[in-house]
Each structure stands twice: as C-alpha cells, then as structure tokens.
Amino acid sequence: MGLATLIAGAEQQDREKAWARLRELLFVDAPTKAQTDEARKIVTALGVTPEQIAKYESVIQQAKSGLATLGRGKGLSERIQKMQERVLASYEAMEKKITQARAEHQRLANELDGLGGEHANAVEAFRALERLQQDNPELLGDLQLVRPE
C-alpha cells in the first residue's frame, strides 16, 4: 500500500468524522455560539455550499419531526390497551347507572300505578257508599262522604 493511499485513507476518515460532527451539530435544537462557529468551520473545511446546507437543514428538520412522531409512538400499544380498558370500564359504569335508573324508573312507575289503583278503588268506594246512602238515608243520611281527589 502506497503513501498516497494511506494519506487518502486518513483524509477519508477525517471527512467522515467531520460529517458525523456536523450531523450532531445540525441536530442541536438551540446551538451555542461555539457550536455554530464549529459548524461553520466544518462546513468550510468540507467545502459545503450554502444551498447544500439549506438542504441539509431541511432534511434535519424533517428527521427531527419524524423522530418526535416516532418518540410519541413509544409504548403506544400499552397506552392503547390501558385506554381501551378505561373506555370499557366507563361503558360498564354507564350501563350500570342506566340499569339502576331503569330500575328506579320502573319502581316509581309501579308505585304510580299502585296509587292509580288506590284512587280507582277510592272512587268506586265513594260511588258505592253514595248509592248505599241514597238507598238507606235513615241509617246513613248523616254520613259525611269525602269525594276522592
């Protein structure tokens, strides 16, 4: 292996390290002045044009956005399962309340029906007593009958 090949290999390793460091610096959200200066030096050393830098920054922003979205997906299946359990528990609680409300409604409707029956019986008793009083005024003439409401 010749000297030129060794120098070219060393230069290639330096370029790869420079690109790796530039990538790190481009991913910094709020770079310091020192980081910005270092990035400028690397860009100059690599011979990168302003158009290429603009393209790289755009790509980095897309990558950051994609990584953020990917990060929100971390543990998502567990969060989905927990949310499904909460939704099911909420549904079951709602169904229980509905069942209880229906039972209470039915109890009240039955009570109302019972009161209606009592009223019908009271009206029938009033009419029967009225007839009885009319048929037997000497025995029941002074009986005070209260008309049901």
Residue 22 CB-density burial (10 A; 0-12 exposed, 13-18 middle, 19+ buried): buried
CA distance 130 to 147: 10
Position 46 scores a pLDDT of 81
Number of other CB atoms surrounding residue 39 within 10 Å:
19
In this prediction the pTM is 0.48
Position 126 scores a pLDDT of 92
pLDDT per residue rounded down to tens, the chain (149 residues) = 443 344 444 577 777 888 888 888 888 888 889 988 888 888 888 888 888 888 888 888 898 888 888 888 888 899 999 999 999 999 999 999 999 999 999 999 999 999 999 999 999 999 999 999 999 989 888 889 899 88
